[in-house]
Amino acid sequence: MTTETDKTDETGPDPFLETGRKLFAAPSSFVKGAVKLDQLPPMQRVEIAFAGRSNVGKSSLVNALTGRKTLAKVSNTPGRTQELNFFHIGEDVMLVDMPGYGFAAAPEAKVKAWTRLILDFLRGRANLARVYVLIDSRHGIKNTDTPVLDLLDKAAVSYQIVLTKADQLKAEEMEKRIAETRAALARRPAAFPEIIATSSRKGDGLTELRAAIARLAAERA
């Protein structure tokens, strides 16, 4: 499958493939978790955020990208990530793991607090380069994802779909899922058109995602 980082030009393969490898091979560390707007860190680095339904595999993807098994907390219990978690990646990038959404068993008051925090974050971070919205490739975009995509469109925040757990689909099934997802995004103004399919367990798509993040960091430098 082709993503923005698979492309080549007259000089050869995309140089950001190597830049991305170096970026995520550099030291990475947990900075802080924020549950309120005044707890957000200073806007000193390019920020890349990850959003998705609870249990879609956000923490697993963060760990797989950095090659560190315990950088982000992983739980089999949906809704564990209840704050905005910030991670330094190398010297120039801040990765943000956003609270999972769509977990009906979470207390209503807590869900409202998460939603308010996310809204404030999206509206106020001038250094936020892109939000990667993680979608379980086995199910595609669901009704619980739609309000988040609507919000990102309304806030004019660039976002891109990352399909997770790609190893659990056959090749033809994945091609169909990518086509369906791309069609669903066709009229969404803030959506980046290319889809990246990943597997945290097998490593599929991680090289392409690292390169895409490195490209964004370079463009914002």
Q: What is the pLDDT of residues 137-192, one digit of tens each?
A: 999 999 989 988 998 998 899 999 999 999 999 999 999 999 999 999 999 999 99
Q: Which amino acid appears at position 17 of this protein?
A: L
The pTM assigned to this predicted structure is 0.88
- How far apart (Å, rounded) are the C-alpha atoms in residues 160 and 192? 5
CATH of residue 191: 3.40.50.300
Assigned domain for 76 exists: yes
Interval 103-123 mean pLDDT: 76
Predicted confidence band of residue 106 (pLDDT cuts 50, 70, 90): low
Q: What is the pLDDT of residues 43-76, one digit of tens each?
A: 999 999 999 988 898 889 989 998 887 687 654 4
Pure H helices in the chain = 16-25, 58-66, 108-124, 146-155, 171-185, 206-220
- How far apart (Å, rounded) are the C-alpha atoms in residues 215 and 221? 10
Cβ 153 vs Cβ 110: under 8 Å: no
- How far apart (Å, rounded) are the C-alpha atoms in residues 206 and 190? 23
For the chain, the domain total comes to 1
- How far apart (Å, rounded) are the C-alpha atoms in residues 183 and 140? 12
Interval 112-120 mean pLDDT: 80
State the residue range of the domain holding 90: 13-220
Amino acid 2: pLDDT: 41
Assigned domain for 2 exists: no
Beta strand pairing status for 159-164 and 93-97?
Answer: unpaired
